[in-house]
Structures are given as structure tokens and as C-alpha cells.
Structure 1
């Protein structure tokens, strides 16, 4: 360790559980909301595609807005912590409302979807951006920052996997054949747990390092710093591409098993193999002790690409064991990639301080911004291609739609992983950042 550790395990676990709390709701949205809107609530795929675009445009603006709000916050609790307290309840309330299915007309249903989903997007941003922005204020120990990031992602990935595996069985159990009731009761259960965990984070974590000289700088200076912070720009694009491929793969999984393999019951089994993402997360501490974070993330992308290649062999050879093996390898890579995201953003925040600006809110908003842009475009691609190919919910699909499903599930992810590797190559050698951090800010 380069400095004495400053956090204790209760605080570390509470910090990690903040991501678990958000993912209890968020993972349901990314994996099942498109299916819920089209096959349960009865919205047209084209209308859903437009909704996702509008929501992501709104979320993009909201990410920056929340970041600015954090940087302008003055409170006895700090800059980021208060957001957990202020927005936890509205976040859970709108999550539940999103799965309420009033018997409106087609237009009324769409209006309801817009109001609830857009509201959910804003409050998700309000409780998610602070998870990243608070990290570099908790400790100045580089290895401890990595440990906190790993704990966060381990908790978040664990919940993602739990949600992916158990959502549909829980919907069936609670709904007793009524998917509308099943989804609503499931999100109620997840929401209550999420509320408790977010509030627990507020009470347990501490902001220790906020420089009054560098914080609360004019927005114009913050923007100038962003343009010079090449590390931040690069990792922002990588984050966007990661969530783009995640959205496309996750949203297409249920369609692939339902309409190509004609066995929707295999979805929980297929998702169970994503448990190996936890292996990737746990490898981060070891790999970063031997290699740079950039090199470690490159390993993750290569593993994800290799797993996707294996998955494609399983898809076109109709070999489920090979397909599931591909999911396992791909998930290990995903665990490494996403586990490093908040850690590398924290590095760019600290790097920004060497330029005289501590703007953890704005810089951390890139995480949520990448999530929103990636998920939005991923939802648009998936829903849009289905619409163009003539997709009909709960019917046997035509040949064009089946081709579109395979395109989304196999080929688009392969292209995106390759782009991620190219973009990451532009990330600076980390020794340059370390040298700048040692010198500190020189006005």
C-alpha cells in the first residue's frame, strides 16, 4: 500500500452495497423492460424504440446536471453523500410506477410509460452518479481505491446475476400466471431492498478529502479541464461502448431463447453462467498488482471477445454447451472491464486536481452518461431492427426477424468489442498520471 488504509470493512461493504441497491432495479430495466413493454404491456416495438431514444437524450442531460449539482453542493454531509438521502425514496417509487399497468388506451399507455420511465431515469441518475463521485474523496490510497472499486463491482455484479437468474421465476411465482402482476410485485420486492441499502450507504460512508481551494470552481474552468483530461475522454468512450454491447446482448437474450430456440425457460439457466463475471472482478486486484489498469482492462476486452466468438459457434452450431461456455468466458471479461470503470474514473478525477479543478461530480457523471447513451442506443438498435424486420409479439417470427435476433446476439457485440480495444489503446501510460499526482497542483 502506498499509504495507510483509511476505510474499515463496514464502510467498504456499505459503499459496495450502494451499487447492489441500484442494480436491483437497474438490471430489471436493462434486461426485461423492452420485453415487458412489448409482450406484457402491449406497446409497439417502434414506439418503445422512440421512448428509449427520448429517455436516453433526457438522461444524457440529467447526468451532467446531477454532476454539476454535486459539485455545487455545500452541506455538512459533504458533496455526494446527501444525494443518497434525498433521492432514494423517489427512485424506488418511480421504479414501481414503471411496472404499474393501468388499463388506458394505446395513447394513454404510451404517455404513462413516458412519464414513469423518464422519472425513473432522472432519479436513477441522482443516486448512481454519487457512487462514482464519492470514491476519490473516501481515501487517497491508490490500492485502497482499487479495493473499494472491486468491492463495489463485486456487490453490483452479484446482484445483476441474481436479478438475471431469478426475475422470471419470481415473476411466475408472484404472478401465478399473470405477468403484469408478477413484474409489479417483483419490482416492489427489489425496490424495498434497494431503498434500505441506499440509505445504509448514506449513513455508513464518509467523505474525507475535498479541497476547498479546488472545489466549486466556475463551470467554464471545469469544461476547460475536461478538454485537457485525455484520460477522462478516452475512458468515457470505452464506458459508452461497454454499455452499448451490454444493452444489445442483454435485451436480445430472452428473444433468442424464446423465438430461435423456442424455450424461454432456458433464459435463467443461460443467465446463471454470467456468475463468472465475479471471477473477473476478483481477478482485478491480482492483475493490477502485476500490470497497469489499462493493460488489465485490455485483457478483459480480449476475454469478452473470445467468449463472444465461442458463443457464436454455439449459436450457429446449435450446441448449447458451447454457447454456455461462451457466456462464461465473455462474462469473466465483462467483470474485469466494468470492475475497472469506477476505479479509472477516480484516477481521472484525481488527475484533474493536478490541473487545479476538483470536479468529481461532473467527471463521475461520465459513468452514468455512458450507461445512458449506451443503453439508449442499444435499446434503439434492438427495438428498431425488430420493428423494421416485422417482429410480432408472442407469434412465430419471420425469417428476417430471426436474422435480426442473431445479428444482435452474435455479430454486433463482436464489432463493438473490437472498437473498445482500439479506443482503449489511446489511454495514456499511467506512469504519466502518477508523476502528475506526485507533483500535485501547481498554479
Structure 2
């Protein structure tokens, strides 16, 4: 079957939705491993200094952001029988798996500058090149599988649900596997290498499952591959097309605020438990209440999306989480904090279920508005904003704690330090959530989307009306 002749507004099967979500489960076998364990590996297994390891990761974020834009440009100029995005998942999953194993296998013979150079090279091969090379096409694939608004919302729901499951898998199994493969030693090099060999085999299998089960049905402008190649969009024109699309701009601001909020909030949670609550052991239950509520509520959001638009689900969900953050600023009681974690988790589920589907709708509107498509660039620039938002959110946490005079050597912090932690845990996230809600108030694309789709199906754009 010629995939370009499939119904672009198709209703997807459960298997295809699940296969799409599995792609983010697989992605989190790499992403969550880096987030949770790379610094631990560098310091406790390799013996590198925490400052040097953190500097490598921080400096590499700049290259990582640039590579997002490059990959977006590549996707927009990819024309194959498999589509624009899917081929990159199949092409790059094996190189990413190999490089991830190498990243967690720093040779013991390497010391000093040689060791740091190896760490820098393998980290950037993984994060800057190959992970970006798969993740940006994966995000773009949502908008290329169907133009159906509800289905795009469901794809975002499956993605968020299985991404969370992937994170929980990594958090649960990695140290158990390193101990098992290391003969009881959690921090042996052999244990870490074999652990990631196993995880990366699973990673490749899952990515190929996504590749074979998901189909691209949406062809920009209804073009044939030959016509598409004759109408290439330059890098500058693609960027310009994004910034004149007000809905894409609103989504990007909201996504930036979301990731800023999450980095600041999750980064401060352990400090809040240890110093404000007074018991570091309560961190796990506070965090798990949020994650469990988020996963549980993700099973409910598809039914809600049948009744309300993705925009309203996102806006109301963030408003609910905003209430959770607001009330968190006034309590250090463990029971109340756990209850508010559940409230936040419900709101996060609504955001995760709808955010990426809304992004694809905004990119589709951009094709109609501009007369040319920028699916790859639109997702890549959004990914760049996620990374910048996360990075600045983490930096903001450090700045706020520094302003509050936080001193890790002190068992009991000053009132000013405790206030700084509280700001990072509750008030700054609340402000970011308010920004998200305001952006969604002005996001009225659902009133125009059906006409946009009808025009695109007829090969018409804004200037043709």
C-alpha cells in the first residue's frame, strides 16, 4: 500500500497508539538513565569529580539545543517511502544504543584529560547527535500519523503514560541490575556495562516495534515526493514561518514555562523534604504520590478529551496543579504535602496528555497560514525550548538557594534558606503554571481547526481564501 494515499484524518487502532507510546518508553531508557544515573556513574564508578562531570553536561546542552534545530531541518527535507520521521527512528536506534553502552563504559585506563575527553565525546554522541536524531523525529511523528485532533490527544496520552512507565522502570531496575551483574557490587564497571547492554537491546527492539507499527499518513500540501523536493523550505524561511504562527508561539511559551517549572520543582523536592519537612526519608513518598496519581489519571484523560477540547484539558489541568502549588506554599505537613502531590499529579496528567497534541495542531495551522509546512522545525524548536526551560529552571533553583544563603553543610538551615527552598518548591512553579494558563486563554485554534483541515485537504491555504 502507498502510505501517502492513507486517510490523513484517520482514527488509529489501539495497537498503533500503543506502538507510538512505546517509542517514548524506549526513549526514557536512555533519557531517564542519563538524568538519574549518569552523574552517579561518573562520580561513584569512574571516580571523576562532580564539578567536572556537571560541567561536561552543562556545556553540552548548548550543542544539544543547536542539534535540535538541525535535525528539524533534516526532517523537513526528508522524503522516503517510509515518510519523513519514521526512517530516522530505524536508522539511528542502533547507533544510539551502542553509544549509550560506550557512555557507561569509561575505560579504566583513561585518567585526567583523556578521561574527560572520552566522557565529553560519548555524552555528546548520545545526547547531542543520536538521541536528538531519534527524539525530534519521534515527536514529529505524532503530527504525521493523523490530523485528527482527538487522536493526536490520545497519542500524547499514550506517550506520557509510557514515558512515565519508562522512567519508573529505570529508577527501579538499574541499581538492582548493576549489583546482580557486578557480583553484588553496585558500582563495578562490569555491572554497569552489562546492565546497559541489556537495556539497549530492549531499546532497539522497542524502537523497531514503533517503526513497523506506526504509519505516516499526513503529507504536507498533498504533495508527491517529487513535488515536495521541488518546494524545499530554507532554514531561515522555516524559522520565520514558526514565529509568525501565534499558536505555535503560545505553545512554545507554555512548554518553556512547563519545563522550567518541572526542573525547579523536582530539583527542590529533596531539599524541601529534608529541611522544610525535616525528614529526607519522606522524599520518596511525596514524589511517588505525584507519579502514581499522574499515571492513574492518564487512564481517565482520554474520556475527558471526548467531552472537552485538548486546550481546555491542558488549561484546566494546569489550573488544578496551580492550586496544588499555591497551597503547598503554606504547609510542611507530610500528609497535606502528599495530598497536594496527588493534586499536582492529576494536573500534570492533563498537561502531558494534551500538550504535544496541541503542538501538532499548531504546526498544522502554520502550514495553512504560511503556505508551507515546517513539521520538523516546529518540533525541533519546541524541543530546544524544553531543554532551555529545563536548564534555566535548574539554574534558577541554584540561584534562589544561593540568594537564600543555603549551606549544605548545615543540618538546620536559616529561615531565609527555608524560604528560598519554599519558593523553589511552591511559588516559582505556581508563577510558571499561571503563565501556562494565560497562554491557553489566548489559544483559540479549536474554533478554526476544522476549516484549516478542510482547506489543506483541498490544497488551499490562507492566501487562497
Match of 1:424 in 2: 440
Question: 1:169-208 to 2 correspondence within 5 Å?
Answer: 176=184, 178-179=186-187, 181=189, 186-208=195-217
Distance 1:90 1:3, change over 3 A: closer
**1:242 aligned onto 2:248:** no
In 1, Cα distance between equivalents of 2:101 and 2:396? 26
In 2, Cα distance between equivalents of 1:391 and 1:358? 51
1:362 aligned residue (373, 377, 385): 377
In 1, Cα distance between equivalents of 2:84 and 2:285? 42
Distance 1:192 1:72, change over 3 A: same
Question: 1:281-292 to 2 correspondence within 5 Å?
Answer: 281-292=298-309
Match of 1:21 in 2: 26
How many residues were matched structurally?
437
In 2, Cα distance between equivalents of 1:357 and 1:96? 40
CA contact (8 A) 1:45 1:386 kept: no
Distance 1:380 1:172, change over 3 A: farther
Distance 1:146 1:365, change over 3 A: same
In 2, Cα distance between equivalents of 1:90 and 1:306? 44
Match of 1:131 in 2: 138
Match of 2:349 in 1: 335
Match of 2:391 in 1: 376
In 2, Cα distance between equivalents of 1:223 and 1:187? 37
Distance 1:359 1:332, change over 3 A: same
- Matched position secondary structure for 2:249: helix
In 2, Cα distance between equivalents of 1:37 and 1:385? 27
Distance 1:231 1:376, change over 3 A: same
CA contact (8 A) 1:46 1:384 kept: no
Question: 1:140-179 to 2 correspondence within 5 Å?
Answer: 140-164=147-171, 167=174, 176=184, 178-179=186-187
TM-score by length of 2: 0.81
Question: 1:92-103 to 2 correspondence within 5 Å?
Answer: 92-103=97-108
Match of 1:349 in 2: 363
CA contact (8 A) 2:9 2:146 kept: no
CA contact (8 A) 1:158 1:275 kept: no
Match of 2:125 in 1: 119
Give the drift of 1:362: 1.0
Give the drift of 1:271: 3.6
Distance 1:34 1:386, change over 3 A: farther
In 2, Cα distance between equivalents of 1:254 and 1:347? 37
TM-score by length of 1: 0.85
**1:408 aligned onto 2:414:** no
Distance 1:418 1:173, change over 3 A: farther
In 2, Cα distance between equivalents of 1:281 and 1:167? 25
Give the drift of 1:430: 2.0
Give the aligned CA root-mean-square deviation in angstroms.
Answer: 3.4
Distance 1:229 1:27, change over 3 A: same
Query: Unmatched 5+ residue regions in structure 1?
Result: none
Query: Unmatched 5+ residue regions in structure 2?
Result: 1-6
CA contact (8 A) 1:382 1:408 kept: yes
CA contact (8 A) 1:136 1:346 kept: yes
Distance 1:165 1:396, change over 3 A: farther
Q: RCO higher in 1 or 2 (8 Å CA, sep ≥ 6)?
A: 1
Deviation per CA, 1:40-74, whole angstroms, max 9, x where unpaired? 66655655554344222212111111111111112
In 1, Cα distance between equivalents of 2:17 and 2:52? 42
In 2, Cα distance between equivalents of 1:189 and 1:259? 38
In 2, Cα distance between equivalents of 1:249 and 1:83? 33
In 2, Cα distance between equivalents of 1:62 and 1:286? 37
CA contact (8 A) 1:301 1:334 kept: yes
| CA radius of gyration, larger in | 2
In 1, Cα distance between equivalents of 2:121 and 2:321? 36
**1:62 aligned onto 2:67:** yes
Match of 1:79 in 2: 84
Give the drift of 1:201: 1.0
CA contact (8 A) 2:260 2:392 kept: yes
Give the drift of 1:261: 6.6
